[in-house]
Amino acid sequence: MNIFELSNKTHISVKSLRKLEKLKIDFGALDDEPDDFLHAAKIRFVLMRKGQLTVEQLLQLIVDPSLFDMLKKYEARARAQIAALGDYQATLAPREVTAVIDRAAGAEADAALILAQWFGDVLPAEPVGHHWVAVRLLLPLPVFQREKAMSLVSLALMHMRKLDAFRPYWESIENKSGRKEIRYFQPKTLDL
């Protein structure tokens, strides 16, 4: 990879890369793991602006923890976003749930009901967002299936929310920027 290709992939100016080159940084060494370098650069870009990482970026950090080393001073922000997911390993979706993501995205009510029943068991009492839910659905899948399912999860969750049985488990709230955000939670039960 030459300096111009690196500039195009990372959106770092050639001038800045030339300065790094003067410090004896070998850009040829980046050819061994260009994807990791590119993933880390994109994640750093989001974290610099104090943004929320995408589900795909969260999954990359979970699957490849060596990316944390490339984040430099933004590592703590990335780890905080992973920590906000809670104990995702304990509540990963079982095979029978991940198998119906594409059918639920296609508006099949029985598939959406399988998702809803599983979520009813694993949702915490405090409200959680899309990232909490999507990571648990996508992480158990092999990489090649994960990429396809990632585009279907939002649609599957939308059809799940249309079920009357799932209505007590979610709400739409307005966030700080004025946009609507879906939050999932375990409904409160009244103790009499």
Backbone angles phi, psi at 127, to 5 degrees: -65, 140
173 pairs with which residues across the strands?
Answer: 181
Q: Do 161 and 178 belong together in one domain?
A: yes
- Secondary structure (3-state) at 171: strand
Q: Is the predicted pLDDT of residue 26 greater than 70, yes or no? A: no
- Tell me the residue range of the domain where 30 lies: 3-83
Residues 64, 126, single domain; the answer is: no
Q: Of 83, 111, 128, which marks where a domain is finished?
A: 83
The answer to the question of residue 189 being in a domain is: no
Please indicate, yes or no, whether residues 64 and 12 belong to a single structural domain of this protein: yes
137/36 Cα distance (integer angstroms): 23
Pair 92, 167 in one domain: yes
In a domain, 190, yes or no: no
Which of 66, 83, 100 delimits the end of a domain? 83
- Render pLDDT for 51-97 as a digit per residue (tens, 0 to 9): 999 999 999 999 999 999 888 899 999 999 999 999 999 999 999 99
How many structural domains are present in the chain? Answer: 2
Q: What does the mean pLDDT of the chain come to?
A: 87
Judged against a pLDDT cut of 80, whether residue 128 lies above it is answered with yes
Are residue 40 and residue 101 in the same domain, yes or no?
no
Do residues 74 and 96 share a domain? no
Quick: pLDDT tens for 150-184. Answer: 999 999 999 999 999 999 999 999 888 788 999 99
**Residues 103 and 156 both lie in one domain:** yes
Q: Pick from 83, 115, 141: which residue ends a domain?
A: 83
Per-residue pLDDT band for 21 (boundaries 50, 70, 90) equals: confident
**Length, in residues, of the chain:** 192
What pLDDT does 25 receive?
63
Report the pLDDT value the prediction gives residue 28, as an integer from 0 to 100.
57
Q: In the structure, what pLDDT confidence band is assigned to residue 1 with cuts at 50, 70 and 90? A: low
Average pLDDT over residues 105-109: 94
Contact (Cβ atoms closer than 8 angstroms) between residue 149 and residue 138? yes
